[in-house]
Homo-oligomer: A and B are copies of this chain.
Amino acid sequence: VATARDVARQAGVSVSTVSHVLNETRTVSDALRQRVQQAARDLEYEPNAMARSLRIRRSDTLGLMVSDLSNPFFTAVVRGVEDVAQERGYALILCNSNEDPLRERDYLRVLLSRQVDGLMLSPVGQSHESLIRLVQDRFPLVLFDRDISGIDVSTVTLDNERAAFAAVCHLVELGHRRIGMVSGLPSHSTGRDRIAGYRRALREAEIPDDGQLIGVGNSTSEGATVAVSALLDLAERPTAVFATNSLMTIGALIAIQQRGLSVPEDISVVGFDDFLWSAVLRPRLTTVAQPTYELGRTTAELLIDVIHSKGPVTTRKIVLGGQLIVRESSGPVPEGRGLHLEPA
């Protein structure tokens, strides 16, 4: 591997001239410039990014830590982040905490020791010591998807409360009054917000809400199958189910199929996130589509802004909206069910 020294020798100039030619950082005579450029090409010189970063105290690298890479939601986010990083000349180091707080902690150290210029994070748990230190040190940090409390940091999130509200309102308008929900962990802001939207919809429809119809699906397909099975075991089982991410939607459908029930004749379903395969399901799935790719783009752009802003950093909270897409998996309340089952 050739170094600037080699290029300098080959071109018969000093290393500083090589550096200045390649970075266009001062005027160099045509003759020398030509020789340097030729030598660089001949030797296939590629500057050593580590040495460079060490000197200029900047790595032109962004860190991105997602909490679950097997969730299509996050891969869409990653693509958005990546496109922006590419456009703005940043490299990207991607880590997957896999919903493991320890792994998040570890990767955080890895990323910082690699001197990333900024970090995008979908936090797996609560705020912790390492994160607090980061913001205290004014390290460029943007959280996405999930917000956490007790920490003053910029975030980009989706409007989960409104999205859940819209989904449940749709079911209410179809006449449903016993509406189940499979939720993610309430320890995540996303889980809480979706529950809040669900409850507001019930409240506005004056449907009594004892929380019995909220199952915790743990954001996984398996968890949702268990949770929805429990809902279906209730004496007064729901006539509709709202699943709050794509994996849990699958789990909910599995549970429903296991009971031999069909959608939407026996029970209506609304999913969260819009997925490619929802179009080939029969019936096609009613979903709340979320702008996942845009979430990634916005997060990356905000982070780069934060990095470039020299002044006092004002933390920003950006919220992106979603969209309800009505398909055939949600329908009216089945005959003989619904109103008469109402406890109120």
Residues of B close to A8: CB separation below 8 A: none
Interface centre among A48, A69, A280 (most CB of B within 10 A): A280
A114 interface residue (CB < 8 Å to B): yes
Binary contact readout A64-93 vs B (1 if CB under 8 angstroms, 0 otherwise): 000001101001101100100010000111
Residues of B close to A59: CB separation below 8 A: 50
A234 interface residue (CB < 8 Å to B): no
Known: A75-B75, A112-B46, A133-B44. A281 touches B281 (CB 8 A): yes
A113 interface residue (CB < 8 Å to B): yes
Min CB gap A100→B, angstroms: 10
Secondary structure type dominating chain A contacts: helix
13 further A-B contacts with Cβ under 8 Å, apart from A46-B109, A61-B114, A93-B93, are A46-B113, A48-B113, A49-B114, A49-B115, A50-B50, A69-B79, A70-B79, A72-B72, A82-B96, A86-B103, A250-B279, A275-B277, A281-B281
A95 interface residue (CB < 8 Å to B): yes
Residue of B nearest to A53 (CB): B50
Residue of B nearest to A293 (CB): B70
A282 interface residue (CB < 8 Å to B): yes
Residues of B close to A93: CB separation below 8 A: 91-94
Residues of A participating in the B interface, judged by any CB pair closer than 8 Å: 1, 44, 46-51, 53-54, 59, 61, 69-70, 72, 75-76, 78-79, 82, 86, 91-96, 98, 103, 106, 109-110, 112-115, 133, 137, 221, 247, 250, 253-254, 257, 275-277, 279-282
A92 B95 Cβ-Cβ under 8 A: yes
CA distance A54 to B47 in the complex (A): 12
A282 B280 Cβ-Cβ under 8 A: no
CA distance A113 to B78 in the complex (A): 22
CA distance A54 to B49 in the complex (A): 9
Residues of B close to A44: CB separation below 8 A: 133
A276 B221 Cβ-Cβ under 8 A: yes
Residue of B nearest to A78 (CB): B69
Q: List 26 A-B contacts (CB under 8 A).
A: A1-B137, A47-B113, A48-B113, A49-B113, A50-B54, A50-B59, A50-B115, A51-B54, A61-B114, A69-B75, A69-B79, A69-B82, A72-B72, A72-B75, A75-B75, A79-B98, A86-B103, A91-B93, A91-B110, A92-B95, A93-B94, A247-B276, A250-B276, A250-B279, A280-B281, A281-B281
Residues of B close to A279: CB separation below 8 A: 250, 254
Min CB gap A84→B, angstroms: 13
Min CB gap A265→B, angstroms: 13
Residue of B nearest to A111 (CB): B91
